[in-house]
C-alpha cells in the first residue's frame, strides 16, 4: 500500500515521524533505478509510520485496494489492520519496506514468514496508482527477498485479474497458480541461485 502525500502526518519528508533526521537518513539505501531512469531508495517500515500508512491507503484507488486485499477495504477497516500491518513488523519474520522516488513514498512491500514453516513466506506489494506499471513493484519484491534472508517459497493469493502482480511474482522464481472463482493460489519456488545466495549469507 502506499503513500502519496509529502510528509504525511507532519513528518519530515521521507522520515518516520519522531526519528531524528540523521537517524532517519541512515535508514535509506539506494535501490537502483526504474526502467525509465528514475532513482529509487528504500527504507524499512518503522513503528512510527502509522500516519504514512494511513495517508497512503487513503490516496489509493478502490481498484488497487481491491487488488491488494481481494475485497473492498474502507479507511476505517484499514486502520483496524494496523496492529498486524505495522506492530508485528520485526524485519525478520515480517519484513516491510517503503520505496521512495522523487522524495516521496511510492510503495510499501511486506514479506511475512509462515510460523508453520519459516522458509515459506507470503509477499505483498502495493504501489501508488500514479507509479504503477513503471517497475516499482518489481524493485520492492526483489528488495524484500534480498533483505529477508533465505526464503524457499512464496505462497500468496492474487486476483485472477491482476496480471501485474502475477508477473511481478513470476520474476522471483518458478510460479504455479491454481485459479478459481476469480482468485489464484500462487506458489513461487524462489529461484535456486538467489535462494542459495541468501541462505549462504544468512
Ligand X SMILES: CC(C)(COP(=O)(O)OP(=O)(O)OC[C@H]1O[C@@H](n2cnc3c(N)ncnc32)[C@H](O)[C@@H]1OP(=O)(O)O)[C@@H](O)C(=O)NCCC(=O)NCCS
CB 179, min distance to ligand X, A: 15
Decide: is 104 part of the binding site for ligand X (CB under 6 A).
no
Decide: is 124 part of the binding site for ligand X (CB under 6 A).
yes
Decide: is 126 part of the binding site for ligand X (CB under 6 A).
yes
Q: Which residue is nearest to ligand X (CB)?
A: 137
Element (H, E) at 95: strand 94-101
> Rounded distance, CA 124 to CA 119, Å?
16
Bridge partners, 184 (sequence order): 158, 179
Decide: is 94 part of the binding site for ligand X (CB under 6 A).
no
> Rounded distance, CA 110 to CA 95, Å?
5
Part of the chain binding ligand X (CB under 6 A), chosen from 37-45, 84-92, 110-118, 127-135: 127-135
Q: What spatial distance separates the first Cα and last Cα of the chain, rounded to whole Å?
A: 28
CB 95, min distance to ligand X, A: 14
State which of positions 44-83 bind ligand X (CB under 6 A): 64, 67-68
> Rounded distance, CA 156 to CA 143, Å?
18
Going residue by residue from 128 to 167, which x/- string records binding to ligand X, judged by CB under 6 A?
Answer: ----xxxxxxx-------------------x---xxxx-x
Phi and psi torsions of 86, nearest 5°: -125, -50
Q: Is there a contact between 195 and 151 (Cβ–Cβ < 8 Å)?
A: yes
- Enumerate binding residues for ligand X (CB under 6 A): 64, 67-68, 124-127, 132-138, 158, 162-165, 167-168, 171
Amino acid at each position: 500500500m502506499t503513500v502519496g502525500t509529502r510528509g504525511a502526518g507532519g513528518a519530515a519528508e521521507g522520515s518516520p515521524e519522531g526519528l531524528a533526521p540523521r537517524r532517519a537518513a541512515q535508514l535509506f539505501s539506494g535501490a537502483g533505478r526504474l526502467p525509465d531512469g528514475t532513482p529509487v531508495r528504500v527504507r524499512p517500515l518503522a513503528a512510527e509510520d502509522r500516519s504514512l500508512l494511513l495517508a497512503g491507503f487513503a490516496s489509493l484507488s478502490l481498484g488497487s485496494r481491491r487488488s491488494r486485499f481481494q475485497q473492498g477495504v474502507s479507511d476505517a477497516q484499514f486502520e483496524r489492520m494496523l496492529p498486524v500491518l505495522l506492530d508485528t513488523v520485526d524485519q525478520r519474520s515480517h519484513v516491510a519496506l517503503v520505496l521512495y522516488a522523487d522524495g516521496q513514498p511510492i510503495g510499501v512491500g511486506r514479506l511475512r514468514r509462515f510460523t508453520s514453516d519459516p522458509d515459506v513466506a507470503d509477499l505483498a506489494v502495493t504501489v501508488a496508482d500514479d507509479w504503477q506499471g513503471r517497475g516499482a513493484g518489481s524493485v520492492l519484491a526483489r528488495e524484500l527477498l534480498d533483505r529477508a534472508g533465505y526464503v524457499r517459497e512464496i505462497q500468496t493469493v492474487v486476483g485472477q485479474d491482476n496480471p501485474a502482480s502475477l508477473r511481478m511474482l513470476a520474476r522471483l522464481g518458478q510460479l504455479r497458480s491454481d485459479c478459481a472463482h476469480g482468485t489464484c493460489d500462487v506458489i513461487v519456488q524462489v529461484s535456486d541461485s538467489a535462494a542459495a545466495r541468501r541462505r549462504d549469507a544468512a
